[in-house]
Structure 1
Amino acid sequence: MILGKCPYCGGDVIERKTVVRGKKAKLYTCENARKEYDDSEQFVFTSDSTCTFRIYSNALLRYNKRSIGSNEIKNLLNDGQIKVRLHGRSGSSEYFKYAITDKEYGISILWDEECD
């Protein structure tokens, strides 16, 4: 399923199912970003990859956001940012922040920006 256009190269962003550290997750990646396991079992980009865009659905798990859905990725690609609901350490408090694409991490939280 095509979710939108890649912000880096203009290719199609697609959704793939994968396993990350033994847990099932979705990978939202550019069709031009190809990865494979090398000899040392590291998951690296292939020599014919022309893009590095990728976001794992569990990328914001450390902020107690369970998963990033395909609708959120569509909005992120169309608008350049999305509002995400995050939770405190105990899970009781919740707050909203904006998230944008990031070359190194896939997605980043704008901590200094306030959501209305």
Structure 2
Amino acid sequence: MILGKCPYCKGSVHAIKSSANGKKVNLYSCENAKKEYDDSEQFVFTADSTCTFRVYSNVFLRWNKRSFSKYEMKKLLEDEQIIVRLHGRAGTKEYFKYVITDKEYGVSILWDEEVEEKLISS
């Protein structure tokens, strides 16, 4: 499934079913970001990879957000930033933050930017 254009090389970003640490997840990857296992069993970019944009759907698990959905990734690629709902350690506190694409990590949370209340409810 094609979700949009890569923010760095304008290739197509695909949703691919994958597994990470034994869990089934979606991998949102640029068509030009190819990886393979090398001789030392490390998962590395191939010699013909021209892009590094890759994001796993469990990227925000640390903040108790179970999945970064295909819809959210599609919206991020279209709008260049989205608002996500995160939770505190106990799962009781809820807060909203902006997320943008990041060349090195795929996506980044803008911790210093506060989301206006009126944007959350819309």
User: What is the TM-score when the length of structure 1 is the normalising length?
Assistant: 0.98
Q: Could you list the per-position Cα deviations for residues 69-108 of structure 1 after superposition, in whole angstroms to 9, with x for gaps in the alignment?
A: 0000011000000100000000001000000111111111
Quote how far apart the aligned CAs of 1:22 are: 1.0
SS in 2 for 1:10: coil
User: What is the TM-score when the length of structure 2 is the normalising length?
Assistant: 0.93
- Once residues 91 and 49 of structure 1 are traced to their aligned partners in structure 2, the CA distance between those partners, rounded to angstroms, is 39
SS in 1 for 2:25: strand
- Once residues 48 and 57 of structure 2 are traced to their aligned partners in structure 1, the CA distance between those partners, rounded to angstroms, is 25
1:18 paired residue number: 18
1:88-103 equivalences under 5 Å are 88-103=88-103
2:34 paired residue number: 34
SS in 1 for 2:59: coil
State the number of aligned residues.
116
User: Which amino acid in structure 2 is aligned with residue 107 of structure 1?
Assistant: V
2:107 paired residue number: 107
- Which structure 1 segments of 5+ residues have no match? none
Q: Could you list the per-position Cα deviations for residues 30-83 of structure 1 after superposition, in whole angstroms to 9, with x for gaps in the alignment?
A: 001100111111111000001100000001111111100000001100000010
- Once residues 40 and 24 of structure 1 are traced to their aligned partners in structure 2, the CA distance between those partners, rounded to angstroms, is 24
2:120 paired residue number: none
User: Which amino acid in structure 1 is aligned with residue 39 of structure 2?
Assistant: D
2:54 paired residue number: 54
User: Which amino acid in structure 2 is aligned with residue 5 of structure 1?
Assistant: K
User: Which amino acid in structure 1 is aligned with residue 21 of structure 2?
Assistant: R
